[in-house]
Amino acid sequence: MPTRKIKPYLPPGRYFMQGDEAVAEGAIAAGCRFYAGYPITPASEVILRIERRLREVGGVYFQGEDEIASIAACIGASWTGTKAMTATSGPGFDLMIENLGYAIMTETPLVLVDVQRAGPSTGQAARPSQGDFHQARYASHGDYEIIVLSPWSVQEMFEMGVKAFNLAEKFRTPVIILTDEAVGHLREPLDIPEEVEIFDREHDPSAPPFGMDPENPAPMPLFGDGADLLITGSTHTEWGLRRTRDPETQKKLLTHLMGKIRHHLDEIVEIDEKYMKDAEIALVAYGISARSALEATRRLREKGIKAGFLRLKTIWPFYDELIRNMLKGVAKIFVPEMNIGHLNKELKRVLNIPVISITRIDSTVLTPREIVEKVEEEA
């Protein structure tokens, strides 16, 4: 496996840092040397940090004329062998979607950070939301799989900055870090380790540029290394030849694009659990809402209610079987989130027990007290 341990460019130790800054540091530690973006609240601090840091480590920063150009530049940079990232929020993510689909189809590794804000449209630029839950998964048309990570702390913004690049490089796919204004603008301690483990993509100039293996990604040739590269968003063979009227090629290609992720769920998906051993009810959450859910779980335990806690650190792909197994024996599920109930819908699809939504859609973070009161009312 092409993994190696390196020392982060930021000296190891404890720092006091903002979430947006931490994800930039995680990207630098993972080997990101190209960033293209367009300023947008509440993701602009990612730009401010990474622009300075790229100058220090010999990377390239490009401010595109808009978000469309920015993600396109990341795609081009990635095909030269450079680890590339962009960051945005809801309105900018809307503009990136066509090229996100192109990156999926062309199996282009890149990292996209979506610092969610209240919407739709311009909405409230400096207020948090978790309304992009399903957009992150289903934004592009067609059938595909995508990897979406959900940090809940400054520490995880750094760690998932590293992990997102490792997954993108390993599985040749865009990876989204889905965070929000509350986590992005949060300031708290960050521990930079002595070493981080990074994954460098498998590179083979003589190999076909694209994969047709139903379970695994293919090695990736690059511009400038002598390979014959035909890169198209149309249906294509493993050599990039367009086959826009061939049902068999379409079937093989989609099977590959989905299979290279679906067959590796145990490597990709992370779920955190606490107090689940004797739990009679469970709180299931992600991102900033999970922080309140964990505190609510502790308070419910103090009141004699056997509550358990499950946090999705990876929200896509949705690992149905694992989630069912982890919630086996629980009588009722409560799902706190800052939207109209997106995760709630997925859990109802997967589980055969009552799933109760606890939501806020007023661009305000859910509090532990609200969650406790709702659970006591329904339990």
- Would you list the domain boundaries of the chain? 3-199, 272-378
Contact of 281 with 305, CB cutoff 8 Å? yes
Strand-pairing partners, residue 237, are none
Residue 7 pLDDT > 80: no
Q: What pLDDT band is residue 269 in, cutting at 50, 70 and 90?
A: very high
Residue 9 pLDDT > 90: no
Residue 224 has a pLDDT of 86
Q: How many CB atoms lie within 10 A of CB 55?
A: 11
Six-digit token string for 252 = 């093989």
Residue 228 has a pLDDT of 82
CATH superfamily of 3-199: Thiamin diphosphate (ThDP)-binding fold, Pyr/PP domains (3.40.50.970)
Q: What pLDDT band is residue 158 in, cutting at 50, 70 and 90?
A: very high
Mean residue pLDDT across the chain:
96
Least confident of 90-99, 203-212, 356-365: 203-212
Mean of pLDDT values over 53-61: 95
Mean of pLDDT values over 149-165: 98
Q: What pLDDT band is residue 4 in, cutting at 50, 70 and 90?
A: confident
Q: What pLDDT band is residue 47 in, cutting at 50, 70 and 90?
A: very high
Distance CA 76, CA 249 (A): 25
Residue 1 pLDDT > 70: no
Least confident of 201-205, 308-312, 372-376: 201-205
Residue 5 pLDDT > 90: no
My answer on whether omega of the bond before 120 falls inside 30° of 0, hence cis, is yes
Residue 221 has a pLDDT of 92
The answer to whether the 3-199 and 272-378 domains have the same CATH topology is: yes
- Cα distances (Å, whole numbers) of residue 247 to 157, 176, 244, 278: 42, 30, 8, 51
pLDDT tens readout for residues 24-36:
999 999 999 999 9
Residue 10 has a pLDDT of 85
β-strand pairing of 3-6 with 314-316: unpaired
Contact of 135 with 188, CB cutoff 8 Å? no
Residue 134 has a pLDDT of 98
Least confident of 39-43, 54-58, 203-207: 203-207
pLDDT tens readout for residues 279-332:
999 999 999 999 999 999 999 999 999 999 999 999 999 999 999 999 999 999
Of the CA atoms within 13 Å of residue 267, those in its CB half-sphere come to 12
Place of tokens 């992600």: 286
Q: What CATH number has the domain spanning 272-378?
A: 3.40.50.920
pLDDT tens readout for residues 237-267:
999 999 999 999 999 999 999 999 999 999 9
Q: What pLDDT band is residue 140 in, cutting at 50, 70 and 90?
A: very high
Mean of pLDDT values over 55-59: 94
pTM (global) more than 0.85: yes
Q: What pLDDT band is residue 179 in, cutting at 50, 70 and 90?
A: very high
Nearest to 184 by CA among 36, 43, 24: 43
Residue 3 has a pLDDT of 74
Distance CA 349, CA 341 (A): 13
Mean of pLDDT values over 218-247: 93
Residue 379 pLDDT > 80: no
